[in-house]
Structure 1
Amino acid sequence: MDFAFGDADEAFRREARAWLQEHLVGEFARAAGQGGPGSEHERGSVRRAWERELGRGGWIGIGWGAGGASDSGAAGAHPCETGNSRVGRGVYGVRRATLTQQVVWAEEYARVRAPGRSGHVGENLLAPTLLAYGTQEQQDAFLPPIARGEALWCQGYSEPGAGSDLAGVRTAAVRDGDGTYHVTGQKIWTSLAHEADWCFVLARTEPGSHRHHGLSLLLVPMDQPGRVEVRPIRQLTGTSEFNEVFFDGARARGDHVVGGAGNGWRVAMGLLGFERGVSTLAQQIGFAQELDAVVREALRTGSAADPVLRDRLVRQWAELRVMRWNALRTLGGGGGPGADAGAPSVAKLLWGGWHQRLGELAMAVRGTAAAIGPTDWHAEAPYELDALQRLFLFSRADTVYGGSDEIQRNIIAERVLGLPREAKGPVRGAP
């Protein structure tokens, strides 16, 4: 497979670089490199303003109206494109971009270490899901605010008793006489819920239903005092990007069910298929920057002279290259949600383990000094970590969140290799 970019892609790269150079200035430039995984607490207001700046430039949702990898853009526009879109713009006024151009933008964005995106969930998860499963009215209502960088979303999937086993959700939504749903239950590990305007919630809308039956995906506004409560979860890093969210009769309109009532499992699985698309390549640029930092630390401390550590550094570099080629190969395969049931699971297994090993390596090259904390224990915020310490601690969760390694292996075994499903026997020790 040819992994090279064409002339049109390189022209798009120059356009992206020029825009970033012109607009990543002032407060935005000072927020460069901040707001990534483990650091979502940094520069929140500045990063939200940056979302609006991206929206004005038409850089949010550039893949919403894209055609195939070889499409120049015009023929690939989504049928919901409006007639008054600006010249050269596609769906809802955003730039048109082919798949390879989306990769180019993601790479250029990561290379300049632009501020961490606070609108990722809405742009890369909800929006493609609405385009695939939503009604025209839902698309017209929710996509423009996302494209303008004005609406932030969070994902209401995991619960205390239903994490990787998502079919076990117990959050319920009851419909009243005027069609409004009242959502009651608890979600957990909800990224950026404390900043989000909306949450897409997987809830059980059919009383007495079990497992993946009777579920619906509802769009729930977060600004409902007394009905929606957000409690931050303090992590090993000392930060609180994740939250518990409690719904106590929270309201969702009847026409804000994506894909129709009772079809939540199909829609939820389709959404997860979008989770590891083009954004994984931008993630890998960030990984490369972290690896460079670890290499510099190894040179600074002299640990690069250790043949064992040097071998581990080289192995990390080689595995990162393989991940990039695998991601490009997968993206070039075409098809919609579920076209390659195993690809997202393979990708998650690869990067989760790789990033966790990088965090361990970051501590190994520093030696015993890696355990040293802040020097001023009387400081206002004594629990302060440097970038490599935060990398190590945050990466401990990489093989758990977003679907644990065990779940990913089960998906590959059952859906790709066709192996028999694991037996669901009684719990050991139960009567």
Structure 2
Amino acid sequence: MSSILTNSTAMVALQTLKSINANMGKTQNEISTGKSVSSARQNSAVWAISKTMESDVKGFKGIADSLALGSSTVATARSASEQITDLLTEIKGKIVAAQEDNVDREKIQTDVAALRNQISTIVGAAQFNGLNLLSNRESGATVANIVGNTGNGAGILGSGTVSILSSLDRSSGGTVTASSITAAKADLGTQASVQGTGTDLAAGAVTGAGAIATGATGTLTIVGDVGTAARGGNRVLAGDSYTIGGLTGVSGAVRYVARDGDTVNDIASALNDMLNFQAAKSGIAISSTVSGAAITVTNGTTAGITTAMTLNSGGTAGGGLEILSSVDVSTSQGAGAALSAIEGLTQTAIEAAANFGSVQGRIEIQSEYVSNLMDSLKSGIGSLVDANMEETSARLQALQVQQQLGIQALSIANQAPQNILALFR
């Protein structure tokens, strides 16, 4: 039946043309954006996944920058540590030469002092963007502005670490946590420690102090500050100055100022090294050995000695190469003491350089992994939302043909009512 009010054929042709135009609009959008899913309206699940992955890519770009900064910082410290190791090796050569009596020890000491000053210069300059991994001392630092510090002295941070952001870990539940690579500081400074001027905390800090007869031994056991309730039960706190006195004839200070994180064993080991060095330098037959927190002092002099321990708060920690500041080869005793000490100092620098090298290698491996991971994530996102341009191009051409046919079909359908006029002629 023909009707001039309802043209069913035209309606069908119109709907077909609308569908073709809609598909063409979608295809043209894919061509212009390069994406098959460019909004949540098109495919909410795929769009949500792609956006999550894109946010991860942005995060890993930040991590790549962090790793690059961390690698440069650690590389600076490693290079400086290696240079310091070479200088200590050169100092060792000077010290060995000073063992001979038929040499000018004063001139050798001048060379040693110059090399020591160069080490201090390197340590001071070994910073990247203001961060120095070879100095555990903060200029003007106080406890309030040193994270994790528990002491009460100035510039006493000694076991600090630096965290370098290395990864973002996403769990199956969607929780994201950050992972870091930790680089430990290595204090290679040569500055001497400064005894604290705070309250004497000696009571209970050490056991066994007292008289040691000629040829006898005595044991000093470092206990720490057990009598100060305000310290919250901590026994060894950064900035506390442990000093062994009463060593008749020993001219240099036998002292160690605790760094943050030190234990009683660390205190005992450092005091033992300093005691042996200062006694040998002074030419006094007093020596010691250490086991855990116990220091066994042997009195080889012709007179008795009386060991005494003082413990004061508010001290300033010395550098990791503190003994180097007291090396003096101008005397035979000083040359002998320096020879026994230089090996330990060299090993300290070698260990620092090795540790920095290990951390730098790990950072470089992680940096390469993050770069590859970002490439994989980008590829995954592309497979989800990127348009297949070859397929899209072919589809557009087909839709253009369909559109032309649709327009022609609609035109023919609209001409159908014209045929009714022939009935009235």
TM-score range, shorter chain: under 0.3
TM-score by length of 2: 0.22
Query: Where is the helix percentage greater, Structure 1 or Structure 2?
Result: 2
Of structures 1 and 2, the larger Rg is shown by 2
Between the two structures, name the one with larger relative contact order (CA 8 Å, sep ≥ 6). 2
